């Protein structure tokens, strides 16, 4: 007769205790994996060019945006966009995949403007020989929807925030119209990417601006500001009337809206991040070019000539107002992010003062101005500020093809590169002082500025136009920084 074996009570208790522990650890691990990450992604200046392979444009125009990827994959032009060109499909795909691989579950994805390629209206006409505004408007929307689809496919669980760039409109560069068709057409897409409520739609349609409180970043309100309206080059154009220029009060309306939202954030004891495309300050590169052109045949360069060559990013009226707002809300605004410059750079605002502000200028995906394609991973602090950031870049642009994929790697980590324990106005101000006074720090900054690209280097003898732009927002301050220097008065060195 078989005797039934019984486990000892101690062994049974040990078994159940082990089982409970295993369940607890499994649940804890699952809970931990669902905790929002303290890192987020930033990409800027995608400048996607759907016309890179003209043989595919007719099929793209006829297809649903979700079918575009299959169409674009048929292209026999397999090389990535090279320096001097905007982003084709192979480069875009590689960049988005690299972002996904680097940070699969970001707490937030931020795209700081310029989704569309430069010269989009003319490129469409050249590729389609079609001047019907109705079909062109539909193609613009399809392009934006395609980009939204590609972002959402890779970051399905993340909040994705976009802001309009100066190329993001039907009428062309710097022509976006408040309450216009581009903002109306893209409002639902932008809201769905941001996972925002109804107020988002009204604000986007009116001004291309909005405010959200991201669930992954508690205590922070992100205000996306359509800074194209502030540009010195801005001229509103009516798409309904053949893109003719129209009067616009968009800039003043946007500032009023901004101040209202900053007051609401302060009353709610929230910190604010500003997200915009065109940063405030001086366009250092344009100033370099203009100064060189004006100096040719003018005899000895002078401070007066230098002053006339200065190119502000914004209308100085709006820069002054922005500067005042930053002072009034210095305890509320903890970070700002911008793009547009196609460089990895920064701005400090009242950096030498307590509570100064800063703007991180995000590197581009498009290599059109000679920089290597790149994106950021930013690490959050515990107080609504930033703890650190890393830039990742494409290392083999010239060799990359669809059959020989791009290789992306970390270019640098801010804390390690600059021996800094924090990322704020104070640390950036200290770095700026080093750039001004230490040749090694200046060379280091220049390398990072162009994302380690050797395609379009700025000589050390002509870099003052750029480093003065870091802290000099107004033309008068910039003039004092740069125009009295030996560099500005000397012979015109080779410049970009």
Measured distance CA(437)–CA(422) in Å, rounded: 21
Measured distance CA(362)–CA(165) in Å, rounded: 13
C-alpha pair distances (Å), 155 with each of 40, 149, 161: 11, 10, 12
We report the CATH number of the domain holding residue 100 as 3.60.21.10
DSSP code for 457: P
Query: Nearest Cα to 102, choosing from 155, 150, 31, 33?
Result: 155
Measured distance CA(78)–CA(217) in Å, rounded: 40
Domain assignment present for residue 160? The answer is: yes
Measured distance CA(64)–CA(143) in Å, rounded: 10
Listing DSSP states for 222-266 in one string gives: EEEE-GGGGBTT---EEGGGTTEE----HHHHHHHHHHHHHHHHH
Q: Is 248:315 a contact under the CB 8 Å cutoff?
A: no
Measured distance CA(65)–CA(80) in Å, rounded: 21
Q: Is 112 exposed, middle or buried (0-12, 13-18, 19+ CB in 10 A)?
A: buried
Query: Nearest Cα to 161, choosing from 282, 15, 296, 276?
Result: 276
Q: Tell me what pLDDT residue 304 has.
A: 83
Domain assignment present for residue 212? The answer is: yes
Query: Nearest Cα to 323, choosing from 475, 144, 490?
Result: 475
**Tens digits of per-residue pLDDT, 463-495?**
888 999 999 999 999 999 988 775 665 544 333
Q: Is 336:276 a contact under the CB 8 Å cutoff?
A: yes
If one counts the domains in the chain, the total is: 1
User: pTM of the full predicted structure?
Assistant: 0.89
CA angle 90, 91, 93 (to 5 degrees): 65
| Phi/psi of residue 400, nearest 5 degrees | -70, 135
Domain assignment present for residue 401? The answer is: yes
Any idea which residue has 């080059």 for tokens?
233
In 302-369, which ranges are E strands?
333-338, 345-349, 357-361
Q: Tell me what pLDDT residue 299 has.
A: 61
Measured distance CA(483)–CA(496) in Å, rounded: 18
| Phi/psi of residue 66, nearest 5 degrees | -75, -10
Measured distance CA(341)–CA(374) in Å, rounded: 13
Helix (H) or strand (E) holding 39: strand 39-43
Q: Is 262:329 a contact under the CB 8 Å cutoff?
A: yes
Q: Tell me what pLDDT residue 489 has.
A: 52
| Phi/psi of residue 475, nearest 5 degrees | -55, -40
Stated length of the chain: 496
Q: Is 318:473 a contact under the CB 8 Å cutoff?
A: no
Question: Strand 374-380 and strand 345-349: pairing?
Answer: unpaired
Listing DSSP states for 376-445 in one string gives: EEEEE-SSSSEEEEEEEEES-TTT-BTTB---EEEEEEHHHHHT-S-BSHHHHHHHHHHHHH-HHHHHHH
Handedness of CA 479, 481, 487, 492 (dihedral sign): negative
| Phi/psi of residue 42, nearest 5 degrees | -130, 130
Measured distance CA(363)–CA(342) in Å, rounded: 5
Measured distance CA(375)–CA(392) in Å, rounded: 6
Q: Tell me what pLDDT residue 353 has.
A: 58
Which structural domain range is residue 381 located in?
36-278+313-457
Distance, CA of 302 to chain centre: 36
Q: Is 50:143 a contact under the CB 8 Å cutoff?
A: yes
Measured distance CA(106)–CA(389) in Å, rounded: 13
Domain assignment present for residue 467? The answer is: no
Can you tell me whether residue 38 is helix, strand or coil? coil
Q: Tell me what pLDDT residue 385 has.
A: 83
Q: Tell me what pLDDT residue 7 has.
A: 43
Q: What is the pLDDT along the chain (496 residues), one digit of tens a residue?
A: 333 334 444 444 444 444 433 433 334 333 333 445 789 999 999 999 999 999 999 999 999 999 999 999 999 999 999 999 999 999 999 999 999 999 999 999 999 999 999 999 999 999 999 989 999 999 999 999 999 999 999 999 999 999 999 999 999 999 999 999 999 999 999 999 999 988 999 999 999 999 999 998 989 999 999 999 999 999 999 998 899 999 999 999 999 999 999 999 999 999 999 999 999 999 999 998 888 888 786 665 677 888 899 999 999 999 999 999 999 999 999 999 999 999 999 999 975 555 689 999 999 999 999 999 999 999 998 777 899 999 999 999 999 999 999 999 999 999 999 999 889 999 999 999 999 999 999 999 999 999 999 887 776 656 888 999 999 999 999 999 988 775 665 544 333 3
**Nearby residues of 176 by Cβ (< 8 Å), 6 or more positions away:** 164, 166, 168, 169, 182, 183, 208, 226, 228, 229, 236
Domain assignment present for residue 232? The answer is: yes
In 108-265, which ranges are E strands?
108-111, 159-162, 210-212, 220-225, 237-238, 244-245
């Amino acid at each position: 007769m078989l005797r039934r074996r019984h486990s000892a009570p101690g062994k049974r208790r040990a078994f159940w205790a082990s089982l409970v522990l295993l369940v607890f650890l499994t649940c804890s691990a699952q809970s931990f994996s669902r905790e929002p990450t303290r890192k987020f992604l930033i990409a800027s200046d995608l400048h996607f060019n759907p016309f890179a392979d003209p043989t595919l444009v007719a099929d793209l125009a006829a297809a649903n945006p979700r079918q575009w990827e299959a169409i674009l994959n048929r292209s026999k032009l397999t090389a990535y966009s090279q320096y001097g060109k905007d982003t084709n499909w192979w480069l875009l795909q590689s960049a988005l995949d690299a972002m996904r691989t680097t940070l699969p579950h970001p707490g937030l994805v931020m795209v700081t403007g310029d989704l569309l390629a430069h010269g989009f209206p003319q490129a469409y006409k050249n590729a389609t020989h079609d001047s019907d505004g109705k079909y062109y408007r539909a193609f613009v929307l399809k392009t934006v929807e395609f980009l939204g689809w590609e972002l959402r496919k890779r970051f399905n669980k993340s909040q994705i925030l976009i802001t309009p760039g100066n190329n993001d409109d039907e009428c062309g560069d710097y022509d976006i119209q408040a309450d216009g068709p581009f903002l109306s057409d893209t409002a639902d897409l932008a809201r769905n990417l941001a996972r925002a409520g109804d107020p988002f739609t009204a604000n986007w349609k009116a001004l291309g601006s909005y405010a959200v409180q991201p669930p992954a970043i508690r205590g922070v309100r992100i205000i996306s500001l359509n800074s194209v309206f502030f540009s010195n080059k801005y001229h509103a154009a009516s798409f309904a009337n053949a893109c003719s220029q129209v009067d616009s009060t968009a800039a003043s309306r946007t500032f009023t809206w901004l101040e209202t939202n900053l007051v609401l954030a302060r009353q709610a004891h929230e910190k604010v991040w500003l997200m915009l495309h065109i940063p405030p300050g001086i366009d250092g590169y344009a100033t370099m070019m203009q100064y060189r052109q004006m100096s040719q045949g003018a005899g000895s360069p002078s401070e007066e000539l230098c002053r006339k060559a200065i190119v502000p990013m914004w209308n100085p009226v709006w820069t002054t107002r922005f500067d005042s707002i930053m002072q009034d809300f210095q305890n509320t605004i903890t970070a700002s992010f911008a793009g547009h410059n196609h460089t990895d750079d920064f701005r400090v605002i009242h950096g030498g003062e307590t509570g100064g502000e800063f703007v991180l200028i995000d590197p581009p995906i498009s290599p059109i101005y000679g920089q290597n394609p790149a994106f950021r991973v930013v690490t959050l602090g515990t107080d609504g500020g930033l703890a650190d950031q890393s830039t990742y870049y494409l290392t083999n642009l010239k060799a990359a093809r669809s059959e020989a994929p791009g290789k992306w790697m970390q270019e640098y980590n801010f804390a390690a590169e600059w021996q800094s324990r924090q990322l704020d106005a104070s640390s950036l101000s200290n770095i700026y002082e080093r750039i001004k006074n230490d040749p090694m720090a200046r060379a280091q900054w220049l390398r990072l500025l162009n994302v380690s690209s050797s395609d379009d280097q700025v000589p050390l003898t002509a870099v003052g136009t750029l480093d003065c732009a870091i802290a000099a927002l107004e033309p008068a301050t910039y003039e004092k920084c740069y125009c009295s220097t030996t560099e500005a008065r000397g012979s015109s060195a080779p410049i970009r």
